[in-house]
Structure 1
């Protein structure tokens, strides 16, 4: 009897995972993201944060899970064109109502700017949300850090209550593998995924690490990934060549 209950709980746990749409990433996460979790994807410019987020929204649409992509840095047309250039045309899913793009400029002192889409999320029964990016939101609130953190916490809690899985993007400067500087907002999210460029001779190698993922197990190593047609592909059975060759890796 105990074995049956244990197996049932295990099945429920696995079924409550959300697929990322990123080849190899669900293996790192041991099944995907926990449904209703709020995850921060962070790293320097050009590391694939937006690409990973588009893959996440697109995967939901392919499985009839409506998603919203909130962009505060790029125009809606830029997101469409960027997706298409990588072989990820989101337009057909927009027409079906499975993907909604929202251009949401962050206005200084406008406390509801991050919460405005909540009504749309409720009315459309949205299951996945991307906020790209929280960095501009931080600048809009500077120097009122308390208000900024309060609004971020409010939004993440609402997503959790509604069972919506949230991916938020933020910029982070990384200079050394052993000296990753954590910001206050890193601790406001259930999960923290760090994308980076590790110097390899005269070029750079893309790498990813799940720094934390509250409420679920995951692989702890740093893994290489590539960006190409179709987006990001993670290689969970490999170690970065740059880390094998050098004891200390410098980041761009």
Structure 2
């Protein structure tokens, strides 16, 4: 089972969605759409009848409703008003407040299967170093116990991902994506790259995305998906394929790995050649 993100085109490049009970990092500079990414994830949960928790250090519930209305996401506004999407503005300024201020709030309001957003994690660890690894790991474990989470991290002005406040969340999270504004023109001004997706396939490369009112973030990719194992069988039926390779091909497709016909044919050619 995968957690559908609601971000059009994104699930295709991460193998069908997020894995349940995971912490997923979204890195990007200001203006790349990290908050929109997060709200889109929460919106999908609301549409599925799930509970959402949004913890922010900058925006309160009113500001979130204004942003949601500007995108046409009135379901989010209604969810906030009805209490199915909880929004809190945290005033914690140190990682020492993680337990009492943030985790306490989440544990008290989560049913163990909520969609959770921490936007942004950077203020808590921006002045710290790699010695806080255990504290962050503990915090992420508590998030996993409460549901599936998105944690946003602000890209430093130096555009390096090696600083502790960026590197530690990426390393300790279950997945990480990098949103970037490269400014090369409207169609390719923003790009997304999957840095990691633990225990899951993900697409390599950099993919352009755009932000539209109503739709939110739309990721554009040229990945050609098979519909399932039957398509693989149709491709390999005339090839000399043993059961072990057939099982591996089925496993790949069953895990929602998008593959092109040319890739399957190339694998079969190599396999047949090496089997002679």
TM superposition score category, shorter chain reference: 0.7 to 0.9
Q: For residues 26 and 204 of structure 1, do their structure 2 counterparts lie closer, same or farther at Cα, with a shift above 3 Å needed? A: closer
User: 1:106 aligned to 92, 105, 108, which one?
Assistant: 92
Cα distance, 1:197 vs. partner?
A: 0.9
Tell me the secondary structure at the aligned position of residue 200 of structure 1: coil
Aligned equivalent of 2:60: 75
Q: Larger helix proportion, structure 1 or 2?
A: 2
Contact 1:210 1:220 in 2 (8 A): yes
Contact kept, 8 Å, 2:209 with 2:220, in 1: the verdict is yes
Distance 2:185 2:5 in 1: 31
CA contact (8 A) 1:174 1:196 kept: no
**Structure 1 position 129 matched with structure 2 position 116:** yes
For residues 161 and 116 of structure 1, do their structure 2 counterparts lie closer, same or farther at Cα, with a shift above 3 Å needed? Answer: closer
Residue of structure 2 in register with 1:87 after alignment:
72
Report the CA distance between 1:125 and its aligned residue.
4.5
Once the two structures are TM-superposed, the CA of residue 100 in structure 1 deviates from its matched residue by: 1.0
User: Which has the greater radius of gyration?
Assistant: 2
Q: Which runs of 5 or more residues in structure 2 are unaligned?
A: 224-276
Kindly indicate whether residue 105 of structure 2 is the aligned counterpart of residue 120 of structure 1: no
Flag the 1:143–1:27 CA change in 2: closer, same or farther, 3 A. closer
Which residue does the alignment assign to 1:51?
Answer: 36
The one of 140, 144, 152 equivalent to 1:169 is: 152
Q: Is the 8 A contact 1:20 1:59 kept in 2?
A: yes
Structure 1 residue 143, shift from structure 2 partner: 3.8
DSSP 3-state at the match of 1:216: coil
Which runs of no fewer than 5 residues in structure 1 stay unpaired?
A: 1-15, 239-252
Paired position in structure 1 for 2:83:
97
- What is the Cα-based RMSD across aligned positions, in Å? 2.4
- Superimposed CA distance per residue, residues 24-70 of structure 1 (whole angstroms, 9 cap, x where no aligned partner): 11111121111111101001110000000000001001001111011
Change (3 A) 1:101 1:222: same
User: What per-residue deviation string (whole Å, max 9, x for no partner) do you get for residues 67-126 of structure 1?
Assistant: 10111122221111111111122121224432111111223453533322233244x454
| Kept in 1: contact 2:2–2:20 (CA 8 A) | yes
Contact 1:114 1:151 in 2 (8 A): no
